Amino acid sequence: MNVEFHYYITKYIALEAGFAEDEAEIIAYSSQLVDDNYISYQFQTPSGETYQNFATQTRDIAQPDTDRMRKYLLFHYLPGDPTDPRVRRKDGKMHLLMTTPASSFAQDIFFETTKNESLYSLGIASHMISDTFSHQNFVGMPDEINSLRDSEGILHAVIGHQHLGDKPDIPNLIWHDPRLIDRYTPVDNLDRLLLAANKLYTNYVFMTSYPARWSTVKKNITAMIGPKINETQKSPTNAPQSRVTKYQELLSGFGGAADYNMNKWLQQAVKEDINSINDPAQILTLNPDYEKTDWFRFQEAVKMYLHISESKLEPLFSQVDIPNW
């Protein structure tokens, strides 16, 4: 999924599930920030101590980075059920860490990491479980099982959907995955998106005990996404402005704005101008009240999520030799 789902649609789902506008904003912003939190900075606290955030994404999936596999396997390609029928491949191969939609692992981690009722944790867990739909049939580590054959018929050890670019994340795209058996080769992203939205909405309503009206939510989301396109019609723009405008118009009906800025929370926590930072190694200065900021609370929720999800999946990870863990 991209910012269209992780921020705009997630916020809409949260509002429909009974969360207040300010609560829905925290959930949605946290969900999208998982993708945009790709720099691990060094910070100096007002007391002179050092603080460091844990980056939950890498700027470029093809570029090696410390803790790279931990980022992908826990936040973006959570392992599921490798025997799921939707994973059937032409070559018959399986992988123990294959991502499948809303697996028992994903659901368990979702509810375990949100027991503390932190909206930041809920946003992080929402990102994870949504990505299990769009990233299904991929593994979050270098492996030929992710690869398409090159011009010479050779497979390469790539991470996730690297060879397919952004195709799995475009909401209205119909594309083809030649790795899968013919029945599953055509992939309708809108179908996957609606399944992800339904799972998120169901989980939220379970938490809020709010009256469910999924048929209306589904109808509104489908209308916002608009007509489906094929691979020849694919736009290089991740979130076309026409759709963003639709999201904003719908969300305005709930009494709030919806204009995502990836640096907003960080800027509230530090003294420096984030837009002028060119060196990620630069030590940033945290404001006196940084512990009360959304950014800090998100970062602490990331560390808690990291601990819980890694503990839950340790028995599985111990069976696989994961590089650069």
What Rg, from alpha-carbon coordinates, does the chain have? 20
Q: What is the DSSP string of 10-53?
A: HHHHHHHTT--HHHHHHHHHHHHHHHH-----EEE-TTS-EEEP
Rounded to an integer, what distance in angstroms lies between the CA atom of residue 183 and that of residue 168?
17
Q: What is the pLDDT of residue 280?
A: 86
Region of residue 324 (phi > 0: left; psi between -120 and 50: alpha; otherwise: beta): left
Query: What are the φ and ψ backbone dihedral angles of 176, each rounded to 5 degrees?
Result: -125, 135
Q: What is the pLDDT of residue 236?
A: 66
| 52-80 b/e (C-beta count within 10 Å ≥ 16 → b) | ebebbbbeebeeebebbbbbbbbbbbbbb
Q: Does pLDDT of 174 surpass 90?
A: yes
Q: Does pLDDT of 95 surpass 70?
A: yes
Q: Does pLDDT of 137 surpass 70?
A: yes
Rounded to an integer, what distance in angstroms lies between the CA atom of residue 24 and that of residue 2?
18
- Average pLDDT over every residue of 294-306: 98
Burial label for 39, CB within 10 Å (0-12, 13-18, 19+), is middle
Contacts of 209 (CB under 8 A, 6+ apart): 18
**Range with the poorest average pLDDT among 163-167, 177-181, 186-190, 261-265:** 163-167
In the chain, where the domains are located: 3-317
At 79, is the secondary structure helix, strand, or coil? Answer: strand
Q: What is the pLDDT of residue 59?
A: 85
Q: With the C-alpha atoms ordered 126, 202, 140, 155, is the resulting torsion angle positive or negative?
A: negative
pLDDT in tens, 12-57: 999 999 999 999 999 999 999 999 999 999 999 999 999 999 999 9
DSSP 230: E
Q: Does pLDDT of 85 surpass 60?
A: yes
Confidence of residue 66 (pLDDT cuts 50, 70, 90): low
**Range with the poorest average pLDDT among 60-69, 79-88, 127-136, 213-222:** 60-69
HSE, CB side, 13 Å, CA atoms: give it for residue 282.
Answer: 13
- Average pLDDT over every residue of 159-165: 92
Q: Does pLDDT of 108 surpass 70?
A: yes
Q: Retrieve residue 191's tokens.
A: 């179908």
% of the chain surpassing 90 pLDDT: 87
Query: In the chain, which ranges are continuous DSSP H helix?
Result: 3, 10-16, 21-36, 68-71, 104-113, 119-134, 189-208, 214-225, 241-252, 264-269, 294-317
- Average pLDDT over every residue of 54-71: 81
- CA 309 from chain center: how many Å? 15
DSSP 210: P
pLDDT in tens, 185-241: 999 999 999 999 999 999 999 999 999 999 999 999 999 999 999 999 887 665 688
Going by their DSSP bridges, the two strands 229-230 and 50-52 should be labelled as unpaired
Average confidence score pLDDT of the chain: 94
% of the chain surpassing 70 pLDDT: 97
Q: What is the pLDDT of residue 283?
A: 96
Rounded to an integer, what distance in angstroms lies between the CA atom of residue 93 and that of residue 179?
10
Contacts of 317 (CB under 8 A, 6+ apart): 73, 97, 310, 325
Q: Does pLDDT of 257 surpass 90?
A: no
Rounded to an integer, what distance in angstroms lies between the CA atom of residue 53 and that of residue 59?
15
- CA 78 from chain center: how many Å? 10
Rounded to an integer, what distance in angstroms lies between the CA atom of residue 127 and that of residue 119?
12
Rounded to an integer, what distance in angstroms lies between the CA atom of residue 134 and that of residue 289?
38
**Range with the poorest average pLDDT among 10-14, 57-61, 139-143, 179-183:** 57-61
Contacts of 275 (CB under 8 A, 6+ apart): 263
- Average pLDDT over every residue of 131-147: 96
